[in-house]
Structure 1
């Protein structure tokens, strides 16, 4: 929602952060401290204990500096060891900002006892055109390097239990966690929501414009370039237990993508679970399904990290 002039020399804006749901504030065009107008979430927040949020930078792919937020569990104590759960954003050209997320709520994961890194890997927006476009044609390259570098940095902390780490993501984030599963057994668990798993069959998506640029080529022009970064062509070493989630009405990443990942893992004898929503699309939006989604995801993580 954009700024709304009040006709009296001020504008109304939405103010939010990772730890604060959106509230309306009024800002004078002459400057000064924003004045809070609404208090919709105050009572609910007063009943919650949220962990601290920290911004960190590290050296990632190409020697570039990469930003991440780290959301800590409530009651975090450096004297203890904590499991780590990456949340990986979609797009891939989205980014993690200091803003509230209703669906993939970082504090909901942290409240379950996890240290939660939010990495703005190469391909994320807000860090310049070159940083954003450099993953075109190589979706699994620099972002994978960045996630591994962030993992190395945090795993070196005495308060991270390196034997209890997981990766979660949806859409492109689902792609990247699937790619991670083909490249390493470092993580004990994966959650792949609406995951792109077979680049060659993504012509069933509702957005075909730009596919060649994202994948490196059209399928009929250079099949090898498409397959190079497609998880479906690298399943040999995939051994990580995986929760696969998909909505039947997902036209952005057709449901067959998730069903393929689940089917391959079951055929390989890898522990896998399929959660299938016949009435949902790319997002899980209805209240009852959203509650069920969190139960499934957090239950799966607890099964392997608890």
Structure 2
């Protein structure tokens, strides 16, 4: 086995997060995540680079994380969100014995949000996210532009360059008392139907509003901002989606919220607009969609946005356009592609009559050009089939892309707008960043090769019967699926040697896998594993029919597709049939558990952060609206809830299981992992339970990210018949 990539090298990576092009198309700001080993934290640095590639990127932030880079109209003001220590300029003046601060502090007070940045008088409290801004023409450190007690979530700058709009929580006095009580460890009291959200925790009744204020740093206190009472957050999606404010050229602000009478029991999320003085709110959409990422046309008369059917999550998200009118007619400009919008970026206006959006297109993320009057088409053909789009933005005549490949962590590239207008007729693509060149110099030789392979699958014969030792049978009317397969650097898939293989199943299920850099995959291939990531039925990048095949079911189709992908690799002489392993996170964990109830082909498996008993899970997670839509109520459809739960077939599991969960995971609660663990242990199956304390539905810190990979690898090696007993410790 190879030893080209060790776990400690994770700490040396910088991974691209967001890109944002200045209005004149001259510069691109981007953020990149890196690790702080001493603090065991991920932090996100903010960079800026000229689009013409005339100089290397300049790093703007170092000491704290930055997100949501937002340009002012002059191209010199760059705002962002950060939870930094309070601006020193706001701390001027002495504090007397009575605790009253000097007037020099500029803290107006008198507002329900209060002043300060959330730290207040308690020096140990963590600062809240606020808006900061760099003046790139004058230079110097960023200025603090807001000081809301509960922080800011969402920002945009006005076209005049003098004002900003932010989203911030604004509790009443009674609500503020409850919030203070909760922060002091008091009891949780909830009256909302959407009582929790993963990552947001237990929800309260505090409303988030839009506020408008000046960019003057001396007026940063919340009291200096105007609250727009008719621009308020509501609905089950709001705690994570936010209000997403966007300030348009005609001096109106677009935002998203739920206007349903019972918002917590609705999946609707509408696009609204409002004047910056709080007048004339318009509800543009009609409650039939879950809308996101509104963006204004150059003339400010229309809005483009991401829209999806909240009653059928398997339908593609599409790019819609509507006029800024109450109850406007709106239409999809991407529907003919039969592809869902990707999460790499929001729809953007190429010109007055054309939208560009990233789409999930089979095993790739690519760009689509969508004319308002014409047929949508795929663009940027020179992306090729070995690279996928990880981030996207455009402004002026410049397109910024984050591009990644199996052997290339994502970097920022610039593409001329003509490339999209004329379909591959523009100038050369410019690489603007080199975030990991030193890392690649050391480890590049060990990075994997990658290809997308096709295999045939069919329906499982007999829904109650588990697959045989060799896997599920494939019927004559099988359907083709694809898998993204990563090979060790020195492995020849057409040669005579076979390799141990890990099947890594994506979550969602409304998601997909595309060729790209992933540290866990790179680590495993450097240790000699082939890694397969099947795009099973239900994956969203192959059109509605392929995705919707999974609707109303769990377990059978995904399991069959996973088994078929691994049998294909075995049949091709790539994978050693005695050394197969399976893992998946979230819905991938759900599928992993279903797979091992249907086949014993895997030497070991690791369902991570999944749900295994949908009946007992109902109401304990934050997705009850989804489960109600797809399966009905559990007391009305008990048999269905039991049938889609792998726990009901736990007597068929003989595969050793490593089962993981986050202690505060409200998407797939940890009790689900406990149920599966105890159940298989009662049957005498070798199993291990790993719970990450204080963790949500993710693996948050660098130490836990590397621990996860270490645990999985050790589990596979411990149960690998090709590894002798003395080599069963994890080898870096």
TM-score past 0.5 threshold: yes
In structure 2, what is the Cα distance between the partners aligned to 1:218 and 1:162? 41
1:36 lines up with 2:54 in the alignment? no
Deviation of 1:260 (Å): 0.8
What residue number does 1:26 align with? Answer: 414
Segment drifting more, 62-71 vs 266-275: 62-71
Per-residue CA distance 1:197-218 (angstroms, 9 max, x = gap): 111122211121120344x332
What residue number does 2:689 align with? Answer: 274
Q: Which has the higher strand share?
A: 2
User: Superposition pairs for residues 156-167 of structure 1, below 5 Å?
Assistant: 156-167=571-582
In structure 2, what is the Cα distance between the partners aligned to 1:209 and 1:299? 38
Deviation of 1:291 (Å): 1.6
Corresponding residue SS for 2:592:
helix
User: Superposition pairs for residues 152-231 of structure 1, below 5 Å?
Assistant: 152-203=567-618, 204-214=620-630, 216-231=631-646
Moved over 4 A (4+): none
What residue number does 2:456 align with? Answer: 59
Deviation of 1:23 (Å): 0.8
* TM-score of the superposed pair, with normalisation by structure 2: 0.40
Structure 1 counterpart of 2:441, from 46, 55, 60 = 46
What residue number does 1:100 align with? Answer: 517
What residue number does 1:290 align with? Answer: 705
User: Superposition pairs for residues 3-18 of structure 1, below 5 Å?
Assistant: 4-5=21-22, 6-8=24-26, 9-18=397-406
User: Superposition pairs for residues 247-266 of structure 1, below 5 Å?
Assistant: 247-266=662-681
Structure 1 counterpart of 2:656, from 241, 262, 276 = 241
Deviation of 1:304 (Å): 1.3
Q: 1:96 to 1:301 in 2, by over 3 A?
A: same
**Runs of 5+ in structure 1 lacking a partner?**
none
Greater relative CO, 1 or 2 (CA 8 Å, sep 6+): 1
- Cα contact 1:135–1:141 (8 A) shared by 2: no
* TM-score of the superposed pair, with normalisation by structure 1: 0.94
Deviation of 1:182 (Å): 1.2
Segment drifting more, 32-41 vs 151-160: 151-160
Per-residue CA distance 1:146-195 (angstroms, 9 max, x = gap): 11211221111234210111110011110111011111111110011102
**Runs of 5+ in structure 2 lacking a partner?**
1-17, 27-396, 419-425, 459-476, 724-732
Deviation of 1:219 (Å): 0.8
In structure 1, what is the Cα distance between the partners aligned to 2:406 and 2:629? 32
Q: Which has the higher helix share?
A: 1
In structure 2, what is the Cα distance between the partners aligned to 1:145 and 1:2? 38
Deviation of 1:19 (Å): 2.6
Q: 1:276 to 1:298 in 2, by over 3 A?
A: same
1:134 lines up with 2:522 in the alignment? no
User: Superposition pairs for residues 85-124 of structure 1, below 5 Å?
Assistant: 85-101=502-518, 105-124=520-539
Root-mean-square deviation (CA, aligned residues, Å) is 1.6
Corresponding residue SS for 2:541:
coil
In structure 2, what is the Cα distance between the partners aligned to 1:4 and 1:11? 7
Deviation of 1:60 (Å): 2.2
Deviation of 1:2 (Å): 5.8
Give 1 or 2 for the bigger CA radius of gyration: 2
- Cα contact 2:537–2:549 (8 A) shared by 1: yes
Count of residues paired in the alignment? 303
